[in-house]
Amino acid sequence: MIVWVVGDATIKGSETGSSFKQALEFLNAGFKLHDTMIYKKNTSSFPARRNGKRYTQIFEYMFVFSKGKPEKASLICDKPNKWAGHTNWGRNTQRGKDGVLKQTKNIKPVPTHSPRNNIWEYSIGGGIGQKDKLAYKHPATFPLQLAIDHILSWSDEKDVVLDPFIGSGTTAIAAIETDRNFIGFDISEQYCDLSRMRIEAVLNENFRLV
């Protein structure tokens, strides 16, 4: 599974559409677009002005690609159900393979929680979304919980998580916290050093806790 988080820039009065172009490149390369998700931010550094011409930009795309049918998926069930514990009222029916509705007792109560939707909201900003200030030495940070949630959704414990743009190391830290292995690299030696510092701090902290 590949999770590709991307937003569009606005250049010369137009959004670039780079998010869609990149998604199409993945499709052209033979990947399947498993889900188009939204990373919604709770605030924006550049809110719309009353006399402006665009609404506040507050989201990025999260394209989830797969090679064929996804082998692993563990949907996060944290959406409370209003009617938890209830079954439907009246006669319980179930449609058979022949298309006919038949009365049945095979009706399970509504669970306490169901899978969340594919719009995920996170708090962002200085000191929010990350456990340490070092993360903000990179210009394109994203919440640690976002990485954790995707890792939990598309992998199992002891799997290997790859981040080819390791940046400040957030994905690697999320892998450590979810008991996964990780591989990360970056074109910038500066950011490799930054991620290494953050990862070592987390590993040392976990060692002390043990």
The string of pLDDT tens digits covering residues 139-190 is: 677 899 999 999 999 999 999 999 999 998 999 999 999 999 999 999 999 9
> What would the mean pLDDT of 50-79 be, rounded to a whole number?
94
Beta strands in 57-206 (DSSP E): 59-66, 79-80, 93-95, 101-103, 113-114, 119-122, 160-163, 181-184
Domains observed in the chain:
1-76 (no CATH), 80-114 (no CATH), 123-209 (3.40.50.150)
Least trusted range by pLDDT, from 40-44, 82-86, 170-174: 82-86
The pLDDT, as a whole number, for residue 209 is: 42
The pLDDT, as a whole number, for residue 45 is: 81
Is pLDDT at 109 greater than 90 in this prediction?
no
The pLDDT, as a whole number, for residue 207 is: 54
The pLDDT, as a whole number, for residue 108 is: 74
For residues 102 and 116, is the Cβ–Cβ distance under 8 A?
no
The pLDDT, as a whole number, for residue 206 is: 66
Look-up of token digits 């400040």 = 168
Mean pLDDT of the chain: 88
Angle (nearest 5°) at CA 72 between 85 and 95:
45
For residues 30 and 9, is the Cβ–Cβ distance under 8 A?
no
pTM: 0.83
- Residue type at position 103: Q
Q: Which residue has the higher pLDDT, 90 or 140?
A: 140
> What would the mean pLDDT of 100-117 be, rounded to a whole number?
80
Query: How far is CA 81 from each of CA 77, 85, 121, rounded to the nearest angstrom?
Result: 10, 9, 19
Is pLDDT at 43 greater than 70 in this prediction?
yes
The pLDDT, as a whole number, for residue 90 is: 59
Angle (nearest 5°) at CA 138 between 133 and 140:
115
Q: How far apart are CA 40 and CA 127, in angstroms?
A: 18
